[in-house]
Structure 1
Amino acid sequence: MEPLSEQSDAVTRLYEILTRANLSVAFTKKVLVRPPFPFLHKVCTEALGRSGIFSHEQLTLGNLTTREQKAGFLVRALAFVAFTLRAIQADCVSILLFVSPVQVLAGFEVDRTHEFLRQLVLVHQLSDMDGIKASAAAEVQLKGENHLYTMAIKFRRGLTKAQAAVRLFLRNRAMTTTDGNNNDPTPPVPGTKFLKVFEGFGTFEGVVRSATDGVYVVYYAQDGDEEELDEQEMLEVLRQSRQLEAASSVVAPPQVESSADPSPPNTRTVEFVPVNLFGDLERELPSRQQQEVTRNTPSVSPSRNAAAATASKQLAALMQCDGLVSQGSPSQPGEVLLGDKSDLFRIALPKPATANASNNDGTSPQPNVGEPLWRKKLLALVHPNGVAAIPNPTTLYPPSTISK
């Protein structure tokens, strides 16, 4: 089906019908390409306003703001037209069962909207000599828009199921006469996405919401509308969707295969040697300088420490046996204390050299740095000046402490 335009035959014929109906509604052919709800409201109130099927609020366009209110208005108009033409036994389809108000509001099924406008003009031109319009209006008021809408949608769903059953039967019979080698898409499941082109409105992305007995309820997120399709229509939509996806996909050019083996990439192994860039700065730290001094200072081995302890014990024992003891005299600067305070052992040691002292050859003596204590004691024993000191009794027992 070709998309409608202002020059289409259907639009031109409908424009002529509405013009001859003497309706005080100004419009152009462009409006009939996709009749909007304000135009439909103006035509319905002009043609059916005196029939009494609309409430006082429904006659004002500003009061109809929601989709439910607009759909209720259209249901009343569709039912009145269908009941009136049924009473005169007009040879036409029931517009109440044929047209979906939701689809009309969404701008879909324009051909069915045109059929509604043609039948509306026919009812407007009828005279009410026999009370046909009054009877149709009373039936509309009695049943109400909710009941009429439910009845119509049940009929459309039943009709869709019947059409799906017939088409499925014909399709199965056709498959038995062929080899079955075709590329027809399989029936979709709920959640299947597809693309569908609506003439004059572009391409919409839809998704299958439910599938019951060959009837598929699909949803279009771009306009928030639903649509019911039988199995044959659903399969046709899937075929068109495949074609659209194939046309929109970009095929990458094939790569040219070379007969020669590709040369390996030119690689080179680079060895990384770790280099300390901050060595000079680290050596200036006080902690590093202290480590250098400790590393350069000679350490005394544990064996020498053990030998010194043994020699010290032997020296103390020999001094006790030989009586090399002096009591009562205070220790002098050149003496070493051995033993307990009650029994002082003093050994005369050579006096330490002063800063101005010098050797016989005129050179200054070198200090014995790091000399252990046991070595000093041992040198005192073998020194020629190391004579035993005789203690003075007055130093041990002052006269003031002796009782008379």
Structure 2
Amino acid sequence: MHNKVFARSLAVALSAFFVLSVGVGLSSLNAQAQAPDVYKVGILTDMSGPYSAMGGPGSLVAAKMALEDCLKAECKGMKIELLSADHQNKADIGASKAREWLDRDKVDAIADLTNSSVALAVQRLIRDKGGIAMYSGPATTVLTNAECAANGFHWMFDTYSQAAGAAAALTRMGEKSWYFVTVDYAFGQSLEKDAGNVVKSLGGSVVGSVRHPLNASDLSSFLLQAQSSKAQVIGLANGGQDTVNAIKQARSFGVGSKNQRLAALLVFLSDVHALGLNDAHGLVYTDGFYWDFDNDTRQFSKRFEALDKGSKPTMVHAGVYSSVYHYLKAAAATKSHDWKVVSQKMREIPIQDAVMRNASIRPDGRVIHDMYLYQVKTPAESKAPWDYLKLLSTIPAQQAFKPMDGSCSLTPLAIKH
């Protein structure tokens, strides 16, 4: 009898415990369901290497500004997290971090991706795994040609936009024989190729080229080889610290003086600042953003400068801000984490912000917008800190970037075939 009573009591207790456990479980699930949905954006950039001044920590500052601006407007009430990592300019490290973000951390979008080799590795990854990538730091046009992706967007500049500006302008001025000093990886090779094609299309010639390793401290032998070519223009097909080193060493050796011109095909405001006007003055180059362009860019840059230890933003920083803001607006409009849904919305809504002018997204993922041809001022022309550039001309969006040619499977030309 006592055993039956004990068994009955135990059954009642277990039943009550089971009900309580289910209740707690349901409450936990309900709490999770009611918790704010988190959108995650990762900034994958060069934090300490040769491209850290044009991207790096400043790209994280720009992304934070985009997040703050969207939360005040279109993204009000959303929960957004920002992650960052240093890819060290190595494609395997960049791809590994991107895979970790997508698989483990459920990151929705990745931005900056300075370094073309890293960008191409990530582009191939997102084609297979999903997610969204927005490239404002790399320059290779392959991202929107043979390696294009429905979820990859090339935001700011590329090798063609740089070649279409400075190389075309100088060749039209009669400086038609060129020799290239090129950084030896995908970015430099693409920049040399596009600039060389522009030169040849305008009746000029490429008399030779030499290639140097990334982040080379001594470029003297390469520069002297270029000087001995007797070409009218020595084109620097490199970027970041490599460009700064090349210009400084060229000035000290007299390379590019007298009957030769030194033309840097990819220059950033951070490079001009590092060089100083004594070394940089007279350089002509193409840029997608300059802090002193109009009232909107000045206000944006003043905010950036206060957050980034007194530095003005480069076009990479401007591109990170614009791309992250545009992604967040699309995510807010769709309330979705599905990359297909958000990517489509990014293509539909207009790009409107403080840094881009006449911008839109083509089928191949290329964001076209106005570009600008600038010349670096002399020390006497500069009237204030960071007053470095004078505008020579505006290159309209439709002319600034390489036309679609069918090499991207997403374009109407490719679809017809």
Q: Using structure 1 for the length normalisation, give the TM-score.
A: 0.19
Could you say which structure has the larger radius of gyration? 1
Which structure has more relative contact order (CA 8 Å, sep 6+)? It is: 2
TM-score (norm 2): 0.18
Structure with greater strand percent: 2
